[in-house]
Structure formats: structure tokens, C-alpha cells
A and B are shown apart, each in its own frame.
Chain A
Amino acid sequence: MNKEDQDLVAWHLHLKGKVQGVGFRPFVYRIAKEKNLKGWVSNNTDGVHIYVEGRREDLKAFYHFVLTHYPPIALVTESSCWEEPLQGYNDFFIKESIKEGSSSVLLLPDLDICENCIQELHSPTDRRYGYPFITCTQCGPRYSIIFALPFDRQRTSMEPFKMCKDCQKEYEDPTDRRFFSQTNSCKECGIELFLRDNQKHLLSCGDRAIRDGAEAILKGEVVAVKGIGGFLLIADAGNEQTLRKLREKKKRSHKPFALMFTDIQSVKEEVEIGEEEQNLLIARTKPIVILDRKKKNDSFVNPLVAPGQDTLGVMLAYSPLHILLLEQVRKPVVATSANISGSPILTIDEEIFGFLGHLVDKVLTHNRQIVVPQDDSVLVLTPFYKQPIFLRRSRSYAPFFSLGNLSLDKDVSLLAMGADQKGCLTICHEGNIYVSQYLGSLENFETEENYKKQLNYYFGLFNLNPDSIAVDLHPGYRSTEIGLSLGKERKIPSYYVQHHKAHFWAVLGENNLIDDPGPILGIIWDGTGFGEDGAIWGGEFFLYHEGKINRLRHFKYYPLLLGDKAIKEPRIAALGILWEMGKEYFLREKFSSPDWHTYLKLLNQRRYFLCSSVGRLFDCVCSMIGSYDHSTFEGQAAIEVQKLATRYAKSFGTLDRLPWKKFDFIKKRLNTQPQISLNSFFDWFIEAIRNHWPKEQLAFCFHYWLCLIILEVVHSFQIKKIALSGGVFQNGLLVDLLRFFCEGTLDLYSHQQLSPNDENISLGQLMALANEKKILRSKEKR
């Protein structure tokens, strides 16, 4: 060993990513102690800093170990290391966080309860036995309780709770699981639980509150339970009377309710679960997963939970409070966001009493503030390939977004306002991207207020000062208006991004395709978006090449009457489409006489919008086959058509067993030039309905036709890479069919971290803007 190796040196390590509030410092502390190194570890607003002294060889080993063995819930996205002058410390310690400097640490999503904590929760000898707010460095709330960065107790809503002696001891003990746990608390010093009736009267506290709450649920009452991201309304999933009351008073006639279970075994009794489904259900993010309902007569779950659906939305209890409560109820419960129809999830007791007093019987609440409201996230798996698709990205995912191979200039800050139907904000700050949780539909005023609140929150949290603001082209969007007036107020330039181009940018960004030599075909299908020519777009084929997007093809414009009303009544989309073909009489019986004559007059006077939306084609099909003419919730018609087609496809077990020959005739009914024409297919469709083809087959043919159109366009342009985005691609059957036909020959890209629906618009806007400003690059190329 030469002399140099024995000499002590000092290194400074800087780690970025999901490194705060995940037990990173205790981990570093333990390793340093084990290896007998000196120095310190500290959280800064730009990540974790480690100053460590030792022999060069040991430091190397230490650095490598830290990067390869950090806690499983952490994620290091960048690391750097440099030598510094030796200070000569005689111990290793954890330094207080430094608040100065830039705040480029990632905001961590909320975590479910970890295995160790579950064990303690259930162990009668443990001092946290039955404590509904048990946490450790590896679990518990994060994003939902943070006021400011970095993640330290005094900057969260844990601040009012002063740790007792025992908790403080754990917090200071480097060998303890709760060493430096910012959410540490216990029955002695922690959060208190209360049960109140809907007149605000206190009924019981602590353990009693859980017991009484459970009893109320069993009696058929609706209990509002304050959880991680907001209140959930919890009720007995088998009690028809309760469910009827809930539906009536929540003004929610058909939209399915989610269910919460305590364990995977009881889930298996109600829904079909394979390995992929199970993995998703038990993941640390604990989303609601839409699963196929078991066909059985003795189901515990009342049909009113999901009227007319073949599926159930299921999640496992994810917080200790939910676990304790459900263990007392001893059966699955309905657990739905507590809100007034269309408004954001409620987080404050007073709001529950004020707005939901008429439908809530008891309120199980606690005294820790929810800072960032979030709904439960919702995912579905495609029926055959089991690819997960986000339907709503919120609790436990937001606002984290991994850029993968992309990197952004650190000194540029951008803000993107998203769309109106699925409000969502994206910001780029210090080289990181944050995509907010789902913020709801801005046509509701309370939702708009919540959206603005979230915007202000980000401004405060990151001390944001954006260089540009990206907005949708739609002149009537609230999000556009709010973005523009913010820009005016603060003298920030704004930048318009067309809705469907934003969808395309989003899927390109998520798949690291911005730098791809291309060409890439973007198939962007959704409900409605404002097009560059003033028409309503929604069935678009774009070409991406060298940073530019061009519109190649679209569904031939068809008439769409009455704007927003058309979206609520599938029969109106159908009328426009069949009228153009001269076949409107097929729909005559769906309309009253005044409706019929009024609409025909409007059509004849050409008083309609031009529209290329595929979402409205689903409406049209839904109405034509006789399923729904009026929707009671957004997407109902598309879900119905997909359900019927999936039933048909699934009846063969696997896709290769389908009688494809039988549907060969559809190949002759494609007409994609110069634009994609509907006539040939819908001509046949009308005939098939008249010939009493089963609904399931009709719906399947429609899906197949859509696939064939895509394949035909792909072939005519000789493109090898296809990217899918837009709300239509929440349809798992369509995604699977495409994959079935493309596998081996074409590269198919879709969303992984975000939903294909309008929740991805803000990311897409931001990508478009970043591309315009040339601040995006692939990491290898730097």
C-alpha cells in the first residue's frame, strides 16, 4: 500500500432525485459509521450533500455502495462528486437542513404504510399498537403535507406536533428505523382522531372513534373519513339502501364507486386477479385498479356499486387509519372521494359539514392539515397484454415525473396550464419537471379555484418565476384565460400549443423521442380539442420529424351540433354523421318530434361545428347500437362500446383465436385518402344493425375498423414508429389490438407515467415550449 492511499482525503458528494423524506440521510449515516468514515450528511434544497473524510479507496467504495444500495423508495437521478479540503472531523453526523440555495430537490409523492409499520400497528406490545398515524422513514404522507422545501418537519403540517421523549429518542438514534423521520409521532405526542356526527357534535376519540365509525358503517351510515389526500366517503358496499342514498344525494346515477379492501384474498373473491393485477394492487402507490368482476351469484358487492359494468374499481387500504377502520368493519367498503358533484375533493371538516352534511352521517377526522388535496389514482390493465394505463394520476404518483434520458437547462423555468376537462399543471424548474395531480374539470367554479390555489402553491414552493407560459389554443378555456392573465400581470410571454399537438408532444417526451431522428407517426384521438383551422379536432394523424409536427391525415370532418350538449348526448354525434350520409332517418325514433325537426333545420342551415373527433365516433356507435343516447358521466358511451367489444374478444380467450377471417370484409371498407372517410364503414354498420348483429360483435367491428385505419395510414407512409395519445387510448382493447397487429414490425409508444387523456396536455405544452426554446436534450449527447 503506497503512502497516498493511507492519506486521508475529503470528498463532497451531491445526489439528486427522490432523496428527501425517504430515509436517505440515516442510510448514509449508517454506512459511514459502518465504514468508520468522518464528516456529515445534509439535505439541501438542491438534494442531499455528503461531506466525507477517509482513505481514497474507502471513499470510492462508500460512494459506490451509496449509489447501489439506497432505500428502495428513493431514486437518485443525478450524482456528482468532487474533492474538498480536509477539515479533520472526528465523527460522522447529520447536519440540519440548509434552506438557502436553489430548490431542485424532487417533491416526493405520498407513500402507503410499510410492512414494518403494519407489523407494529398489529403488535399489542408495541407502543404504536393501533396508532392510526404510524409512519417511518420508509412510509407515510409526503406531498400532501408539505408547505415548503426541503422536506423537514417544521415545513410540513406535522409542525404543530412536538415529539415526545420516546419519539425524539428514535429520531436521534441512528440505529433506529425512525432516525430522522420527519413524520415521526406516537399516541403520546401525535395526531388525534375524532368521530363527529353531521351536526359537528363530538361522539368519541381515538380507538373508540374507529370502533364507533366502523359500527356506523355496518349500520348503513355514510362515514366521511379524513385520509391522506382528502376525505373519502365510506359505506357498506353490500347495503343497497345506503348506496341508493349515496347515489341520489351525490347526484351520481351511474358512475362507478371504488371499493376498498384490507387484503388481497378478499379482493380475489370479487374480481379476477392475475400476477400483473396483484402486483399493481399491492404496489407502494396503492392505486384504484379497474378489474374484471367475477361472474358469481353470491357477490357481496351490490350492483349499485358499478351499475351495468363488467368491472370493479378496487384498492387496498393504504393508510394505517384505513386499515384499522376496515379491520373493524370486516368487509369491503365503498370508498369514494368526498366532494360535491364536479367539485374538488374536500379536505377540511367544516366543508364536510357545510356541503355534505345532507349525505354524511358521521365524520371520522383528525387534526393534521392536508396541504395538497389529491384523489386516489386510478389505473386499468389492458385486457390481453396487461399493460397498465392511467385513468387518473394523483395520490402517490404526483407530482413526481421522471425525465428518463432527457435533460433540461437548469436556468430556464416554464409553466404549462393544461386543458380544462382534466385540469393539470406542469412546471419545469431547476432542470426538473413536476406534473401536478389531476385537478378536475374547470367548468366547475370550485375546481377552478382549487386549480388556481395549486398554481399559487407551486409559485410559493419553488419561488417560481417562469420565463414563459404555455396555454391551449382554445379561446374559451379557463386554463388558457388564467395563464394569459397571469402572463399579462407578471409580464411573462405566453405561447399557444394546439391541443392535439400537445398530446403528441407529451407522448414523445415521455418516451424520450424528442431527439429521435424519426419520422414518428402520432395517432392522437380524443373527445374534442380546438383545431388550428377553427374546427373541432380529435381524430388526428401527425408526423414528427426534426422537431416539427405536421398534420398528415384526419377523420373527414362531420357535422357536430350544439357544442357541449352534443358531448352529453351520444345521439347528437350520431345524427350529424348519418345526416351527412343521407341516412339520418335510421335514428328517427331516438328524437322527439321538436328535437328532430329543430336539429334537421340546424343541419340544413349548416349551423354546426366541423369535427374530426374519434371520441364522438364512439358516441355515435353507442347510440346506433342502442346502448345510450344520454350520458350521465363523462366517457360513459366510450366505456360502454369498449365493454361490449371486450366481452366479445375475451370470449375467445386470446386474440389469436379470434375468427379474424369473418371480419376480413372490413378491410374493403377503408378509405383513408385524401382524408379518412366514415361512409363505407357506417353504411355497413347500419345494415348490420338492421340484420340484428349482436351488439358485442358490432362494437368489436368498430374497434377493428379503427385499427385497420391506423395500419393503412402507417403503411401508406412507410413509418416504423407509432405514438398513441389522447383520451381514446384509455381504451385497453384498442391498445391491445394495435399491439397485436404491430408486434414485431412496428414500434408502438404510449404513455407510462401519465394518462393518455387530457391530464397529459400540460406536459405536452411544456415539451413543445422547451423544444421551441431549445433547452431539451438527451443525456448521452451532452
Chain B
Amino acid sequence: MSRARQSYQGVALVAPTSIPYQRYSIDTAHFWIARALKGSLDAAGIAPADLDGFSAASFSLFPDTVVGLTQHLGLSPRWLDQIPMGGASGVVALRRAARAVQAGDADVVACVAGDTNHIDSFRQLLSSFSRFSQDAAYPYGFGGPNAVFGILTDHYMQTYGATREDFGRICVAQRTNALKNPGAVMTKPLSMDQYLAGRPISDPITLFDCVMPCAGSEAFLVMTVKEAEKRQLPYATVRGAIERHNAHADDPIQLRGGWTLDIDELWQMSGYSPIDMDLVQTYDDYPVISMMQIEDLGFCKKGHAGEFLCGKDMTVSGDFPHNTSGGQLSGGQAGAAGGFIGLVEAIRQVTGQAGPTQVKGAKRAVISGFGMVNYDRGVCTAATVIEGGGA
């Protein structure tokens, strides 16, 4: 049995920044990361040379790593980290940065994720993504993540009786949210009929179940509450955070993620329960994954997400605000920034800075991450509960 976790008390999340995504970009990951970093540093009034902690997540930095970024961007941190966890990178970056700040290893950590998307770079990213994918997934039709999640969605539907409408509700609501977000890639409304008539991509997945690969970046800063207050920055506190990798490895097909192992501890640490949340940000590379998270985070029983969401309004003004900026499904997937999009939006939300997508009176949010289809399933899972400062 593990020991009790230390709390994240005294840690503040500030200066959420999202750089509007582009479908294709002729610029590099360095360019996108620099823009988001500058956005957050400017908001906090910190000069790049004064930043003492830096954490980056990106797929398209090659041949550089975060080390190359320090020289490229003129940073001289005393704490440096790179998170290779895709959709879980936001929450994991937060967890590590928070501990560094608590321990005094860094005063301020900038957590940044960004990727570019050139013509053909998605195909190239896929073909060198992981050894197991290369050896045992891509030779079978090269459907990429669409094929893996097609199999997973088929299994979920067959096991729990979920319908395409169940998935469609998530996609349609997120589109409604995205229409309020001027930075979203998708700008046209989406109806359930349009969703259901979507072009088949990898059965049972159709066009609107898929995210659009694009270029973009996201950032936030981690510092002490004291420092945030001194700088008069709106801040969120971390009530609890968990991560888990390669859980349930013996499940033949993934129907649950590692959240199930640690979720009780998350709620216990946070002092809240699912019904106390004002909004929910799940990692939405495919709607089935959002449903899996809604179940594994404890909002409903396993296999019941379809039924549960059927009675909910998932839009910004609804009773179950979910992926309030439109998520990746309507906002686009900017590589590793996809692991940050929900967290950065949630920091805006609980600090009252979300503007057009603001959920009225939002104070508390749960954000979960899911990353890295190493072979046949997502391996990395993470979640955090945050709360607006002074709540």
C-alpha cells in the first residue's frame, strides 16, 4: 500500500495562454512554443531570462529536445523537464511543476506544449511514433489512431450497448461550445443529423468522431500562491492530482483507464466529489474516450456514460459543462498541446477569464488526460481537480 500523498497546498496555476490553432503551419514547434511561453510570461510580467523552471511537451521538436529550447529561447532555468505523454502531458506537467515549486527547486515553472503541423507531417509522426505501433499496428492497414479507436469503439458499443447518438451528443455539444471560442478551428455548427451522416473513416468511427491535426500551443505558469498574490494574478489552486501508466494491461481491449486505480484518492484529496464540479474537461481525441473518462472519474457507473449524458446539457450554459472551449474535437488537435487544451481552459474558467466560453460562476473543475497509443490502447492517464483562488 502506498503512503498518503502530500497535498498540493500553496501552489498556484496562473497565466493560461492558448495560441489560436492553424490547420497547417509552415512554422516550427519552436515558433509555436515561443508564442505560448511569451503569452504566459507577459501576462505574469516575467522576463524570459528570469524564468527558473521550464517544462515542455512536443512531438515535432526533432532534432531538438527541451534542452535545445533553452538555448533557442534564451532561458536559463534551474529546473527543466520534458513530458513525452501526449494527451496526459498537461496534468503530468502540472504535477511535477507543483512539486518543484513546493520544494523550492524553482520559483516559477512555465509549462508549455506546442506542435506544428506541416503537410505530410502527421503521416511522418505516425510512422515513427512507437516501436509496438511500428511492429504490430501500422502494418495492418495503417489506419493510425483512427483504426485503434475504431476497434476500441466497436468493443465499447458491443459490450455496453452504446449507440452512435451517444457519441454524437458529445461532438454536437462541443461544436456548440466551439462556436463561442474565436480560436477554435471548427467554425460551422454541427447537427446530430450531420454527425450521423459523417463520412465513414474507420468503422464505427466517422468524420466527426475524429480530431483534426493542426498546429498550435498552450501554456500556463506554476508558482506559489504567495507569488501569484504578490503579482496580483488570478490563480487556481490544485486540490489533487493523479497519474497512472499501463494500467489494466491484461484487459484484451481497453474499456477503462488507469484513473480507476487512483480516483478515490483524487476525490479524497480534493475534498470534493464529482457533483461538486462546475465543469469537466476530458481528453477527447475520440468521444468514446470522453465517455470512458466520465465513467472512470466517477460521474456514473462503468458503461453508463451514454445514458448519463443523455440527460445532460454539455454546453457552456448547460448543467454539465464539458470541454467548454470545444475541446480537440472542434478546436483541433495541436499535437502535445492536446494534452493541455482542457487544463488551460479550465484555469481560465475557474479564474473567471474564459470570456465568451465562461461557465457562469465556475469555481471548480476536474480535468483528465489520456495519452500515447503505444500499440492498441492509451497508456498514460492523469487527472486533476482545480479550484479558483480565494474560493
Whether chains A and B associate is no
Binding site for A on B (CB under 8 A): none
Binding site for B on A (CB under 8 A): none
